[in-house]
Structure 1
Amino acid sequence: MAVNKTSMLVLDCTDAQALAHFYAELLAGEIHIGEDPDLIEVVGGSGVRLAVRRDHGYAPPSWPRPEDALQAHLRILVGPEDLDEAEREAVSLGARPVDVDTEEGPREARLFSDPAGHSFTIAATGWTV
């Protein structure tokens, strides 16, 4: 018999409270603090779940430098008509655009780093979000 499983992306950082608030605002979600105050879960309005964990020795990822590979990133999906607004919202919350695309014109996916340096993408999707 298979064991029921679920998974969650956990992002390490120096300030778990601050990063949890960033993602809770960005994902219109709620913060859940359990027994360990250094591990905080964020549950987004559409069921997205991720967690942030305080790491006392944390060093931010150095991607997109060519010598470093993108290890993992969060992809946030929005309707095509909401892409510009989602970008403005992310930046207003403290995200930093990471412009690695040299093509001119509109892009359907936009790369950012969160306040702790993790990369994430806001991308247009054809599905109903």
Structure 2
Amino acid sequence: MALVKAGVVVLDCAEPEMLAVFYKALLEAEQTHASANRVEIRGADGTRLAFRRDMGAAPPSWPRPEDSFQVHLDFVVADLDEAERRVVGLGGRPLDTRDAAGPFEERGYADPAGHSFTLRRVPPTAPKQG
């Protein structure tokens, strides 16, 4: 048995209940925990995310060129256009939706709290460029 196991990815935000609603719908997930300051969900594929209340939360500043992502989420989808419609319908916003050249076919978005994530057709294997 592993000494350390992967836990859950936690996104800090001002309103964890509202952000959990967005990701529950996007990932067709179920809520597994809720308290006054934290909500956890598990997607049908086992992906676990949590949303923690941070009273001083400010949206990430990406895509300013002087800033890096630091952390972002990647989701693999079969149909980019259909997934984009779902994201926008749930309150997400496009950051970079031009079709990327090459085999990855990816598009960037922000969730309602401003955290960046990518929808892509193929999981990445190459290092970040640029």
TM-score by length of structure 2 reads 0.84
Q: Would you say the 8 A contact 1:21–1:31 is kept in 2? A: no
The corresponding residue for 2:20 is: 20
Q: Residues 2, 70 of structure 1: CA spacing in aligned structure 2 closer, same or farther, 3 A cutoff?
A: same
| Aligned residue-pair number | 123
The percentage of counterpart residues that share the same residue type is: 50
Can you give the 5+ residue segments of structure 1 that lack an aligned partner in the other structure? none
TM-score by length of structure 1 reads 0.85
SS at match of 1:98: strand
CA deviation profile, 1:5-37 (whole Å, cap 9, x unmatched) = 122110010000000010000000011224x32
Q: Would you say the 8 A contact 2:80–2:121 is kept in 1? A: yes
| Structural mapping, 1:1-129, within 5 Å | 2-34=2-34, 36-79=35-78, 82-99=79-96, 108-125=105-122
Post-superposition offset of 1:3:
1.5
In structure 2, what residue type is equivalent to 1:33? H
Q: Would you say the 8 A contact 2:76–2:121 is kept in 1? A: yes
Post-superposition offset of 1:101:
5.3
